[in-house]
Amino acid sequence: MRSGSIVLPTVILCVVVSSARLTAQTSDPGSGGPESATDESENPQHPTDDRPYWRTNLFGRFFRDQKYLVTTWWPQEFRRPAFMASALAGVALAADSEASFDGGIDRRFEQSVHGGSSGDANRPWRRLSSLGNAPTGALLIGVGYLVGRLGHQDRLAEASSLSAEALLSSGLYCTVLKALSARTRPASGGRGDFFEYQPQSGQVNGSFPSGHATGAFTVATVFAGVYSDRRWVPWIAYGTAGLVGASRVALGRHFPSDVLMGAVLGHSVGRMVVQRQRDAEDTAFRIEPYIDFGGQSAGVVWSRRW
């Protein structure tokens, strides 16, 4: 299975699950009596537009994300030192591999790690790598969303829904970069050469960046952002993503620079989606019933957070 194939099955499952969301109830402004107003104040009902961001249409969020990425997010990222330093390091490492006769540091490191991971040592790496496969990713995110919704664990459902949204975008950009760079994989004597649109017999292109690393760091960043108040969550999320990326080198599927660029891409898009969720929360509005027994008045209050 190609490493960039994690996105579509995940999205299909999450779309089916998210389409079963509860329908918001509408209030009756004409019920006017004190008893009715008191009941509504205890259980405020909001229109469907007041749904949390993560419960809105997944495809709609994805298409709006593309405009935001191009016009706002990527220009900001290219001015952010941490992003640029990491991206340039990955590009420089990959370029050195192609320019050097022996494949440079990138290829030598891949051969060293892969050479020490043969035989029985291969099994743990294969299991870790399988976490980034399409069926496993779809199952984990789909189950996470279902458990979150049915068990009233909104943060788990939110993280799962946002992960599906982020995977759509990171998978799109990862696929485009793979097609444009056409870098050969380490297997079958591949040296990591770029723009090999018709590779030699036995070799396969599409190595740059790693799809498994992109997907793993996308999900890790979303969960770390949603559970930012739980210190152990980022450690586990990024630790697992790092092991998934390392497994791709150990199994001889990618060069270290492929994993680094996948991590940079996934981390950036994951942060973007978390930021979109927070922006939506900061500008959320509410419509709630209002009653003043002293002034003998009642009505509806509209409020918006900026």
Q: pLDDT per residue over 31-77, tens digit each? A: 444 343 334 333 333 434 578 999 999 999 999 999 999 999 999 99
Residue 262 in tokens: 């996948």
Measured CA to CA, the distance from residue 256 to residue 86 in angstroms comes to: 13
Residue 288: strand, helix, or coil: strand
Residue 6 has a pLDDT of 43
Domains of the chain, with CATH numbers? 3-15+41-304 (1.20.144)
Token look-up 């001889």 returns: 252
Q: Strands 297-304 and 285-292, how do they pair? A: antiparallel
Top pLDDT among 98 and 109 is at 109
Range 232-254 average pLDDT: 96
Find how far residue 187's CA is from the centre of its chain.
Answer: 28
Q: 257-295, pLDDT tens digit by residue? A: 999 999 999 999 999 999 999 998 876 455 556 566 666
- Closest C-alpha among 4, 15, 305, 279 to residue 165: 15
**Helical packing angle, 211-226 and 134-150, nearest 10°:** 20
Q: What is the pLDDT of residue 137?
A: 87
- What percent of the chain lies above the pLDDT cut of 70? 75
Q: What is the DSSP letter of 224?
A: H
Render the burial of 239-263: b for 16+ CB within 10 Å, e for the rest: ebbbbbbbbbbbbbbbbbbbbbbbb
Token match 């791709």: residue?
248
Alpha carbon 261 to chain centroid distance? 15
Output the average pLDDT for the chain. Answer: 81
